[in-house]
Amino acid sequence: MPGRLQDKVAVITGGAGGIGRESARRFAEEGASVYVVDLDHGAGKDAAAEVGGSYIHADVTAPEDVQRMYREAAEGSGGIDVLFNNAGISPTDDESILNTDYEVWQRVQDVNLKSVYLCCKYGIPYLRERGGGSVINTASFVSVMGAATSQISYTASKGGVLSMSRELGVEFAREGIRVNALCPGPVSTPLLEELFANDPEKAARRMVHLPMGRFAEAVEIANAALFLASDESSYITSSTFMVDGGLSGAYVTPE
C-alpha cells in the first residue's frame, strides 16, 4: 500500500530536535524523501541516517543558508513538496519583558520568526514549480493564550508565525499551496525539559492547566504535521491547527 507521503519530498528544519526528529521518522515511514536541516551536525546526521534521508547543515536565520538548503534538496530529489518550518528556540533568559534584554529578544525573533519568513520566501517558489504543496509553520499554543510565566519574545515570535501563516495560506490558496500554523501544546522534549528542570515550580504551575494532566509526546505533534503534510488535509489552509490536549479550550480542568 502506498504511504501517505509517497513520492513527496519534505524539508524539515530543526529536524534533529524533539518534534522534528519524530516528524522525520513519521514522514519517512509514510514514503517521503526527507531532508533534515539543523545546526546540530551530529544529531542531524543521525536523524537523517535513521530514516534514509539526507542531512543539510544550515542556519535558518541566514538567508544564504536557507536558499542553499532548498537548492540542495530540489537538486537532490527533483523538487520539493513539503516545507516543515519547525526550528525554534526557547532560551531561559527570555522571560518577563522587564528582565529580557534586547539581544535576547532579537535572537529569539531571528530563530523563531525571521527563519519562517526566510523559509517561506525561498521555499514557496519550489512548491509553485511543483504545482502545489504544503507548508507547515510551527507556532505554539502561546500564540493564542497569555501566560503569567512569561517568555515575551517567544510568545511574540509565535504570534507572528501564526499571522504570517494565515496570510500566506490565503495568498497562495488558488495555486494549490496550503499553509498552516501548527500550534503544539507543551511537549516533553529537551527544550521544555531544560526549562522545567531549571524551575520545577513553573512546571507545576503549568501542569494544572492541562485537561489531560500530561504533556504531549513529540510523536503526537509529528502525527499532526504528517496529516497537514499529506493530501488528507487538502481542504485545510490558513488554519490555527491546535494540538494542545484541550489546553486552549479549558477553563476549569479535572481534579
Residue 15: left (phi > 0), alpha (psi -120 to 50), or beta? alpha
- Does 154 qualify as catalytic in the annotation? yes
- Site mask, ligand NAD, residues 87-106, x = CB under 6 A? xxxx----------------
**Cβ-based nearer residue to ligand NAD, 30 or 59:** 59
Choose one: 3-11, 32-40, 204-212, 228-236; the region binding ligand NAD (CB under 6 A). 32-40
The residue sitting closest to ligand NAD, measured at its beta carbon, is: 17
- Distance CA(163)–CA(161), nearest Å, equals 6
And the C-alpha cell for 56?
543539510
**Quick one: which of 14, 123, 133, 245 contacts ligand NAD (CB under 6 A)?**
14
Catalytic residue among 55, 154, 235, 251: 154
User: Interface residues for ligand NAD in 173-202 (CB under 6 A)?
Assistant: 184, 186-187, 189-192
* Interaction of residue 16 with ligand NAD, rule CB under 6 A: yes
- Return the C-alpha torsion angle 171, 160, 138, 103, nearest 10: 140
Enumerate the β-bridge partners of residue 180: 136
**Contact criterion met (CB below 8 Å) for 87 and 20:** yes
- Of 33 and 138, which CB lies nearer to ligand NAD in the complex structure? 138
**Residue 57: CB partners within 8 Å, gap ≥ 6?**
37, 38, 39, 41, 44
Nearest in space to 143 (alpha carbons), one of 131, 151, 135:
151
Chain residues in the site for ligand NAD (CB under 6 A) = 13-14, 16-20, 38-40, 59-61, 86-90, 111, 138, 140, 184, 186-187, 189-192
